[in-house]
Amino acid sequence: MKKEMTIEESFARLDEMVRALESDEVSLEESFKLYEEGMKLLKDVNGRIDEVEKKIRRIEEDGSTEEFE
């Protein structure tokens, strides 16, 4: 399986896509593909962030964690 892109890499890819869309380099069909791919990537990027407020976790020598405080 392809290695998952980091958020940074995703943003870099999105930059490319937007640039391509704004230029006339891509055909109309390709532009639809780019749009789809870009939207999927964005959803992906947004999905990376688990929007649950995090508490600091304390990590122990053995690598186990527990809530700090």
Tell the smallest beta-carbon distance from residue 2 to other proteins (Å): 19
- Check binding of 3 to other proteins (CB under 8 A): no
- Check binding of 5 to other proteins (CB under 8 A): no
How many residues touch other proteins (CB under 8 A)?
Answer: 37
- Check binding of 35 to other proteins (CB under 8 A): yes
Other C-beta atoms closer than 10 Å to the C-beta of 32 total: 11
Per-residue DSSP letters for 22-33? HSSSS-HHHHHH
Tell the smallest beta-carbon distance from residue 48 to other proteins (Å): 7
- Check binding of 50 to other proteins (CB under 8 A): yes
Place of tokens 């527990």: 66
CA dist 24 and 21 (Å) reads 7
